[in-house]
A = this chain, B = another copy of it.
Amino acid sequence: MLFHIRMDVQLPPSLSAGEAAELKAVEKARSQELQQQGKWRHLWRIGGQYSNISIFDVESVDELHTLVSTLPLFPYMKIEVLPLCRHPSSIRDDDR
């Protein structure tokens, strides 16, 4: 089951450079682990912005929420979620 997520990161000025670097390192490791597992199917940067477009492939909305809400940067992100399904004009039966 695919979900399209846009994440816009906004770190608060009160966060020190060290704290930010640590958060980002943990975020990166976690993100790569989920990509390896095939849960986080695509991850693109939006050019010129501290934002990404992601495609998640999960078993349920509960799993989606658990994965996203435990990301280290979750408290500092504006998140928009769209459920995706097969488009009738797609040439693929299972476009992931």
Contact = CB atoms under 8 A, between A and B. Distances in A.
A79 B14 contact: no
Contact of A61 (B2, B62, B91): B2
Interface in A1-55: 1-5, 11-15, 27-28, 31-32, 35-36, 42-50, 52-53
Contacts of A31: 89
Q: Indicate how many identical chains form the complex.
A: 10
A91 B41 CA distance: 10
A50 B32 contact: no
Given A5-B48, A14-B14, A50-B69, A64 B87 contact: no
Interface in A62-96: 62, 64-65, 68-69, 74-75, 79, 81-92, 95
